[in-house]
Chains A and B, each alone.
Chain A
Amino acid sequence: MADLHFLANPARFRRFSQRVMPSLSFATGLAFLVGLYFALVQSPPDYQQGETVRIMFVHVPSAWLSMAGYALLAVLGASLLVWRHPLAALVARAAAPVGACFALVCLITGSLWGRPMWGTYWVWDARLTSMLLLFFLYLGHIALSRAYDDPDRGDRAAAILALIGAINLPIIKFSVDWWNTLHQPASVMKLGGPSIHPAILTPLLWMAGSLLLLFILLVLVRTETEIDRRRLEIAELSADQAA
């Protein structure tokens, strides 16, 4: 019985995913190469930051995608808890590690950007600190969903966590912003980052676009894996029961 209900959507999903994947992969690769060209070759150095503005082209899209990823987890969580959509749990399981990796990339590239800009590898900048906390929220989601022998229990607990985390994120951001201004170091640093100049916008949007396509691609691939794994688990469970 679990087999029948479960397969209604996932089969359709797999057909969609396999149809879309070749062109999506091609588009992702192409966009990434174009983006790299603009980011590393074509765009001029920023008058404020020099060459290091190029790090922004990967740092900023990673930030956007990690935040969008968590919003996705919250939406999927609501979808699972309220409408009991069968795929929501599997897509959430697939997407969480992807979002976490983007958060990690954001943190590391932010650190590498900070070194030439401010002289230290880690600085308790409001945005980096908020991103660090978002990374921890991701880790919590990933750990919680896999902490139960019954995967449904893990999925639903993680769904609740995602919703509570989403409510908390603006609060956390607000408190970290406040904390950062309170403890502002003596030297006034321009933490704003580059102002958006058209020459900066092109590589940024290309990189953002290609990374977004990569995000979608990875979620599709990982959801297929989750579907297969869940099917295997159901099969093992019914084999155990039959035995």
Chain B
Amino acid sequence: MSDHAVFILSAYLVVLVVLGGLTIASLSGRNKARRELTARGLERPREQRARASR
């Protein structure tokens, strides 16, 4: 039944593409948000920032 191999491999490929793509997108989204937050100097809560700048 190895003529069905193309379906099996396609199925696993889909898993890889969709879930792998989601993982990559999620990680890059997190990094982008964190970069933007750090760029604005906001990564620590306001009280900590106030204490740090004193």
Contacts and interface: CB of A to CB of B under 8 A. Distances in A.
CB atoms of A and B under 8 A apart anywhere in the complex?
Answer: yes
Interface of A: 3-4, 7, 11, 36, 40, 45, 50-52, 54-55, 58-59, 62, 97-98, 101-102, 104-105, 108-109, 112-113, 115-116, 211, 214, 217-218, 221-222, 224-225, 228-229, 231-232, 235
10 contacts: A4-B46, A36-B12, A50-B1, A55-B11, A59-B11, A112-B11, A218-B22, A225-B30, A228-B30, A228-B37
Nearest to A222: B26
Nearest to A109: B11
A55 B7 contact: yes
B4 A105 contact: no
Contacts of A36: 12
Interface of B: 1-2, 4-5, 7-8, 10-12, 14-15, 18-19, 22-23, 26-27, 29-30, 33-34, 36-37, 40, 42, 45-46
A235 B27 CA distance: 23
Given A108-B14, A222-B26, A51 B37 contact: no
A11 B45 contact: yes
Nearest to A6: B45
Contacts, number: 93
A101 B22 contact: yes
Nearest to A215: B19
A179 B46 CA distance: 57
A240 B4 CA distance: 60
A3 B15 CA distance: 39
Contacts of A235: 40, 42
Contacts of B10: 112
A113 B11 contact: yes
Given A54-B8, A222-B30, A228-B37, A7 B45 contact: yes
Given A50-B4, A116-B7, A228 B34 contact: yes
A113 B8 CA distance: 8
A37 B12 CA distance: 12
Contacts of B29: 222, 225
A221 B15 contact: no
B4 A221 contact: no
B19 A105 contact: yes
Given A109-B15, A232-B37, A116 B4 contact: yes
A232 B36 contact: yes
A102 B23 CA distance: 12
Contacts of A104: 18
Contact of A221 (B7, B26, B37): B26
A115 B45 contact: no
B27 to A, nearest CB: 6
Contacts of B15: 58, 62, 105, 109
B18 A52 contact: no
